[in-house]
Amino acid sequence: MYGYPGAAFVDAAGEQLGRDPRRAPGDPATVTLAPGDSAWAGLRYASPGVSGADTAVPAALLVTPPDEREPLKVPWKAGAVPVSGNASSVFLTVLEPGTGP
């Protein structure tokens, strides 16, 4: 895989909440995974309580691996996310091997 995953917050009906996340600056590299290996990408946004952005609580995060068309549906348990207004941008980092920072 190479680059950034796709991502979208959705409500219980599967409707997208807010805009597509932006790509954070980074240097994409090819990530090769053997069966059972993992890769990750970061997701960041300003705290809605501090930024004043309008919020919603997603039911799930849809994640689409690079070069794929079908998203994986991940239940969202982290509370409200910014969906519009000041500082409402959500950013994704490049895909990296492993399970996270």
- pLDDT, tens digit (0-9, with 9 covering 90-100), for 8-35: 999 999 999 988 898 999 999 999 999 9
Q: What is the spatial distance between Cα 45 and Cα 81, in angstroms, rounded to a whole number?
A: 8
pLDDT number for residue 48: 73
This prediction's pTM: 0.85
| Buried/exposed code over 17-34 (b: 16+ C-beta within 10 A; e: otherwise) | bbeebeebebeeeebeee
Q: Taking Cα atoms as reference points, which of 41, 34, 25, 30 lies closest to residue 101?
A: 41
What pLDDT is stored for residue 86 in this prediction? 63
First to last CA, the chain: 19
Report the amino acid identity of residue 10.
Answer: V
How do residues 49-101 score in pLDDT, each as one tens digit?
A: 777 788 899 999 999 999 899 999 999 999 999 888 766 788 999 999 998 88
